[in-house]
């Protein structure tokens, strides 16, 4: 029996073929997934810190009557819409980058529903009044994320610059909706008074003067700011078919870590939001109980 197969000239035997294949250099293909944008985490972390301070000063002033808390709360109050707005824009950007925005939206919806249950029914039964949250920032983000996720195919057909400009303009137009009108840059349209005769439409931004919610972010106008963020996120997300230059997304410094503390806060924004209010109240009552000892 022959030791070697008779092969046509120019061919190689099977053992040689295996060797040649194993000697081929390994090629590494760059991942098409977007890198984590550290700068987004850091900006979000700064917004979270501002939110925590804002709520802390409010609680010190309203619940515990601390004078300097009221002073600092008054200082922070004008800036509250700014850092809240930046946080919502970043949430829109992250929704665009998310692998499963629907799952995140449903998770936030469940958490938001539990917050309403706890603040509307549970806390008053325990003696904590005035903390009702009917449609807060988590409610807004949950609904906005789900609307974006289910309508993504439609939103994707809109060019990023057009979508960003359009939704930013809608946000500015609907910004004064809770005051009974629409308008920007001198343009003014009064809305029907009937919209403000019930609190059932508070989640849209229409409610009576007696409506109270400890945290209130209605869909109008904040949904438009969230959607504005999703179109900004198009410059970050890598899509199939993008050229290598397009896949670079943002400048390199946006991906590098600059402020570790703010980055840490930004990556854990949800648990911080859920825990900071109970912690402040618990700490306040604890310090109050200690100060009352011996009096």
pLDDT, tens digit (0-9, with 9 covering 90-100), for 241-258:
444 444 456 778 788 888
- φ/ψ of 207, rounded to 5, equals -160, 160
**C-alpha to C-alpha distance for 285 and 160, rounded to whole angstroms:** 49
- What was the pLDDT predicted at 41? 93
- What tokens were used for 281? 């109240």
Angle at 224 between CA 155 and CA 201, to 5 degrees: 120
Query: What is the C-alpha to C-alpha distance for residues 134 and 217, in angstroms, rounded to an integer?
Result: 9
Report the share of the chain in percent with pLDDT over 70. Answer: 80
Pull the structure tokens for residue 106.
């449903």
The predicted model scores a pTM of 0.82
User: Can you say whether the dihedral through the CA atoms of 205, 206, 208, 211 is positive or negative?
Assistant: negative
């Amino acid at each position: 029996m022959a030791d070697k197969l008779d092969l046509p000239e120019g061919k190689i035997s099977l053992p040689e073929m295996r060797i040649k294949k194993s000697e081929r250099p390994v090629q590494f293909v760059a991942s098409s997934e977007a890198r984590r944008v550290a700068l987004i985490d850091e900006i979000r972390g700064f917004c979270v810190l501002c939110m925590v301070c804002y709520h802390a000063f409010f609680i010190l002033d309203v619940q515990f009557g601390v004078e300097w808390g009221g002073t600092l709360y008054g200082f922070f109050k004008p800036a509250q819409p700014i850092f809240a707005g930046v946080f919502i824009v970043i949430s829109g950007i992250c929704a665009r980058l998310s692998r499963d925005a629907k799952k995140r939206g449903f998770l936030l919806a469940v958490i938001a529903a539990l917050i309403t249950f706890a603040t509307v029914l549970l806390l008053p039964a325990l003696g904590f009044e005035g903390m009702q949250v009917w449609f807060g920032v988590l409610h807004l983000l949950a609904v906005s994320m789900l609307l974006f996720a289910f309508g993504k195919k439609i939103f994707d057909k809109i060019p990023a610059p057009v979508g960003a400009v359009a939704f930013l303009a809608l946000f500015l137009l609907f910004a004064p909706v809770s005051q009974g009108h629409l308008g920007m840059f001198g343009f003014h349209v009064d809305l029907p008074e009937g919209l403000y005769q019930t609190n059932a439409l508070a989640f849209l931004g229409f409610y009576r003067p007696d409506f109270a919610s400890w945290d209130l972010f209605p869909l109008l106008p904040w949904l438009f700011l969230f959607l504005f963020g999703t179109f900004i996120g198009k410059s970050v997300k890598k899509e199939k078919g993008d050229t290598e230059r397009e896949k670079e997304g943002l400048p390199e410094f946006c991906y590098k870590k600059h402020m570790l503390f703010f980055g840490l806060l930004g990556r854990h924004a949800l648990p911080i939001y859920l825990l900071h209010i109970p912690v402040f109240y618990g700490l306040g009552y604890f310090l109050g109980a200690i100060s009352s000892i011996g009096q």
